[in-house]
Amino acid sequence: MNKRSLLLCNKQSLSLRNKIFWLLVAVLVFLIFRSWFSFGEISAGDAAFYFTSTLKDLTFFPYIWFNIELGRYSSLLFSFSYLILPLKLLSLLGLPWILIERIVWYWPFLGLDIFSSWYLIKTVLPEARFKFLAPFVYLFNTYILMIVGGGQVSIFLPYAIAPLVLGLFIQLINCPIANYELRIANFLLKGHRRLITAWHWALL
Protein backbone atom coordinates (compact mmCIF):
# COMPACT_ATOMS: atom_id res chain seq x y z
CA MET A 1 0.00 0.00 0.00
CA ASN A 2 1.53 3.32 -1.06
CA LYS A 3 1.60 6.49 1.03
CA ARG A 4 -1.31 8.10 -0.76
CA SER A 5 -3.57 5.09 -0.22
CA LEU A 6 -2.58 4.96 3.44
CA LEU A 7 -3.49 8.63 3.95
CA LEU A 8 -6.82 8.11 2.20
CA CYS A 9 -7.56 5.09 4.39
CA ASN A 10 -6.73 7.02 7.56
CA LYS A 11 -8.91 9.91 6.44
CA GLN A 12 -11.87 7.63 5.79
CA SER A 13 -11.37 5.92 9.14
CA LEU A 14 -11.32 9.30 10.91
CA SER A 15 -14.44 10.42 9.06
CA LEU A 16 -16.28 7.25 10.05
CA ARG A 17 -15.19 7.64 13.66
CA ASN A 18 -16.44 11.24 13.73
CA LYS A 19 -19.79 10.22 12.26
CA ILE A 20 -20.20 7.48 14.85
CA PHE A 21 -19.28 9.89 17.63
CA TRP A 22 -21.73 12.59 16.53
CA LEU A 23 -24.44 9.96 16.21
CA LEU A 24 -23.68 8.90 19.79
CA VAL A 25 -23.86 12.52 20.95
CA ALA A 26 -27.23 12.98 19.21
CA VAL A 27 -28.60 9.83 20.86
CA LEU A 28 -27.38 10.91 24.30
CA VAL A 29 -28.79 14.42 23.84
CA PHE A 30 -32.18 12.95 22.96
CA LEU A 31 -32.10 10.54 25.92
CA ILE A 32 -30.81 12.94 28.57
CA PHE A 33 -32.71 16.02 27.38
CA ARG A 34 -35.73 14.18 26.00
CA SER A 35 -38.16 16.40 27.93
CA TRP A 36 -36.83 19.36 25.92
CA PHE A 37 -38.19 17.76 22.75
CA SER A 38 -41.62 16.95 24.16
CA PHE A 39 -44.66 19.19 24.64
CA GLY A 40 -44.62 19.43 28.43
CA GLU A 41 -43.46 22.27 30.67
CA ILE A 42 -39.75 22.30 31.51
CA SER A 43 -39.94 25.08 34.11
CA ALA A 44 -38.57 23.88 37.42
CA GLY A 45 -36.32 25.12 40.18
CA ASP A 46 -35.05 28.60 39.33
CA ALA A 47 -36.62 28.57 35.85
CA ALA A 48 -39.89 30.41 36.34
CA PHE A 49 -43.13 29.54 34.62
CA TYR A 50 -44.58 32.51 32.74
CA PHE A 51 -48.33 32.55 32.33
CA THR A 52 -49.86 34.34 29.36
CA SER A 53 -50.84 37.27 31.56
CA THR A 54 -47.29 37.44 32.94
CA LEU A 55 -45.82 37.55 29.43
CA LYS A 56 -48.18 40.38 28.53
CA ASP A 57 -47.00 42.35 31.57
CA LEU A 58 -43.34 42.14 30.52
CA THR A 59 -41.96 45.43 29.22
CA PHE A 60 -39.58 46.19 26.37
CA PHE A 61 -37.21 47.91 28.80
CA PRO A 62 -35.62 46.55 31.98
CA TYR A 63 -37.58 47.27 35.11
CA ILE A 64 -35.75 47.72 38.39
CA TRP A 65 -38.41 45.86 40.40
CA PHE A 66 -39.26 42.24 39.87
CA ASN A 67 -42.56 42.11 37.98
CA ILE A 68 -43.84 38.91 39.62
CA GLU A 69 -43.14 39.52 43.32
CA LEU A 70 -43.63 42.76 45.22
CA GLY A 71 -40.80 44.71 46.78
CA ARG A 72 -37.87 42.72 45.37
CA TYR A 73 -35.02 44.07 43.28
CA SER A 74 -34.72 42.34 39.92
CA SER A 75 -31.53 40.27 39.77
CA LEU A 76 -32.15 39.83 36.02
CA LEU A 77 -31.78 43.55 35.28
CA PHE A 78 -28.42 43.23 33.53
CA SER A 79 -29.33 40.02 31.72
CA PHE A 80 -32.62 41.46 30.47
CA SER A 81 -31.55 41.63 26.82
CA TYR A 82 -30.98 37.88 26.43
CA LEU A 83 -33.16 36.35 29.17
CA ILE A 84 -36.36 38.39 29.33
CA LEU A 85 -36.72 40.55 26.21
CA PRO A 86 -36.88 37.53 23.80
CA LEU A 87 -39.76 36.16 25.90
CA LYS A 88 -41.71 39.36 25.36
CA LEU A 89 -41.00 39.45 21.62
CA LEU A 90 -42.04 35.84 21.03
CA SER A 91 -45.15 36.22 23.16
CA LEU A 92 -46.31 38.92 20.75
CA LEU A 93 -46.41 36.24 18.06
CA GLY A 94 -48.91 34.27 20.11
CA LEU A 95 -46.54 31.37 20.84
CA PRO A 96 -47.31 29.25 23.92
CA TRP A 97 -44.93 29.28 26.86
CA ILE A 98 -43.84 25.66 26.40
CA LEU A 99 -42.44 26.63 22.98
CA ILE A 100 -41.05 30.02 24.00
CA GLU A 101 -38.90 28.63 26.82
CA ARG A 102 -37.41 26.05 24.46
CA ILE A 103 -36.66 28.56 21.68
CA VAL A 104 -35.14 31.18 23.99
CA TRP A 105 -33.37 29.14 26.67
CA TYR A 106 -33.02 25.40 26.18
CA TRP A 107 -32.46 24.68 22.50
CA PRO A 108 -29.88 27.50 22.14
CA PHE A 109 -28.01 26.01 25.09
CA LEU A 110 -27.56 22.69 23.28
CA GLY A 111 -26.37 24.29 20.04
CA LEU A 112 -24.07 26.81 21.71
CA ASP A 113 -22.58 24.24 24.08
CA ILE A 114 -21.64 21.81 21.33
CA PHE A 115 -20.41 24.43 18.86
CA SER A 116 -18.43 26.59 21.30
CA SER A 117 -16.63 23.66 22.95
CA TRP A 118 -15.71 22.33 19.50
CA TYR A 119 -14.53 25.80 18.43
CA LEU A 120 -12.29 26.18 21.48
CA ILE A 121 -10.63 22.78 21.20
CA LYS A 122 -10.10 23.32 17.47
CA THR A 123 -8.46 26.66 18.25
CA VAL A 124 -6.24 25.44 21.09
CA LEU A 125 -5.42 21.92 19.89
CA PRO A 126 -6.07 21.82 16.15
CA GLU A 127 -4.04 18.63 15.64
CA ALA A 128 -5.45 16.69 18.59
CA ARG A 129 -6.72 13.25 17.59
CA PHE A 130 -9.47 13.14 20.18
CA LYS A 131 -10.73 16.71 19.98
CA PHE A 132 -14.14 15.38 19.06
CA LEU A 133 -14.52 14.37 22.73
CA ALA A 134 -14.63 18.02 23.85
CA PRO A 135 -18.37 18.56 23.20
CA PHE A 136 -19.13 15.25 24.89
CA VAL A 137 -17.25 16.15 28.09
CA TYR A 138 -18.46 19.74 28.15
CA LEU A 139 -22.14 18.91 27.64
CA PHE A 140 -22.52 15.76 29.74
CA ASN A 141 -20.45 16.50 32.85
CA THR A 142 -22.27 16.31 36.17
CA TYR A 143 -21.83 20.00 36.99
CA ILE A 144 -23.75 21.36 34.03
CA LEU A 145 -26.37 18.62 34.26
CA MET A 146 -27.00 19.71 37.87
CA ILE A 147 -27.19 23.39 36.83
CA VAL A 148 -29.56 22.64 33.95
CA GLY A 149 -31.69 20.40 36.15
CA GLY A 150 -32.00 23.23 38.66
CA GLY A 151 -33.28 25.59 35.97
CA GLN A 152 -30.48 28.15 36.48
CA VAL A 153 -30.80 29.76 33.07
CA SER A 154 -28.55 32.72 33.89
CA ILE A 155 -25.72 30.25 34.55
CA PHE A 156 -26.06 27.56 31.90
CA LEU A 157 -26.41 29.97 28.97
CA PRO A 158 -23.15 31.83 29.78
CA TYR A 159 -21.57 28.43 30.43
CA ALA A 160 -22.52 27.35 26.92
CA ILE A 161 -20.96 30.37 25.23
CA ALA A 162 -17.85 30.65 27.45
CA PRO A 163 -15.59 28.42 25.26
CA LEU A 164 -16.48 30.46 22.18
CA VAL A 165 -15.57 33.70 23.96
CA LEU A 166 -12.27 32.21 25.14
CA GLY A 167 -11.49 30.86 21.67
CA LEU A 168 -12.14 34.25 20.06
CA PHE A 169 -10.00 35.92 22.71
CA ILE A 170 -7.11 33.54 21.98
CA GLN A 171 -7.40 34.28 18.27
CA LEU A 172 -7.48 38.00 19.02
CA ILE A 173 -4.17 37.67 20.87
CA ASN A 174 -2.52 35.50 18.23
CA CYS A 175 -3.74 37.41 15.16
CA PRO A 176 -2.42 40.95 14.62
CA ILE A 177 -5.47 41.80 12.51
CA ALA A 178 -8.85 40.59 13.68
CA ASN A 179 -10.79 38.57 11.15
CA TYR A 180 -14.50 38.92 10.49
CA GLU A 181 -15.44 36.62 13.39
CA LEU A 182 -13.57 38.79 15.87
CA ARG A 183 -15.01 41.97 14.38
CA ILE A 184 -18.53 40.61 14.80
CA ALA A 185 -17.82 39.47 18.38
CA ASN A 186 -16.31 42.84 19.26
CA PHE A 187 -19.31 44.65 17.78
CA LEU A 188 -21.76 42.52 19.76
CA LEU A 189 -19.87 42.90 23.03
CA LYS A 190 -19.55 46.68 22.65
CA GLY A 191 -23.18 47.00 21.59
CA HIS A 192 -24.40 44.99 24.57
CA ARG A 193 -22.28 47.05 26.99
CA ARG A 194 -23.54 50.34 25.57
CA LEU A 195 -27.14 49.13 25.74
CA ILE A 196 -26.77 48.15 29.39
CA THR A 197 -25.15 51.52 30.18
CA ALA A 198 -28.01 53.39 28.49
CA TRP A 199 -30.60 51.38 30.41
CA HIS A 200 -28.73 51.99 33.67
CA TRP A 201 -28.76 55.77 33.21
CA ALA A 202 -32.38 55.70 32.11
CA LEU A 203 -33.36 54.01 35.37
CA LEU A 204 -31.53 56.47 37.60
Per-residue pLDDT reduced to its tens digit, 146-155? 998 888 888 8
Does the global pTM surpass 0.75? no
Within 8 A by CB and 6+ apart from 87, the residues are: 50, 55, 58, 100, 104
64 in Cβ contact with 203 (< 8 Å): yes
Q: Got the DSSP string for 149-175?
A: HTT-HHHHHHHHHHHHHHHHHHHHHH-
Give the start-to-end residue ranges of the domains of the chain: 1-32, 33-203
Q: What is the pLDDT of residues 86-123, one digit of tens each?
A: 888 888 888 888 898 899 889 999 999 999 999 999 88
Name the pLDDT band for 139 (thresholds 50, 70, 90).
very high
Q: Find how far residue 83's CA is from the centre of its chain.
A: 11
136 in Cβ contact with 25 (< 8 Å): yes
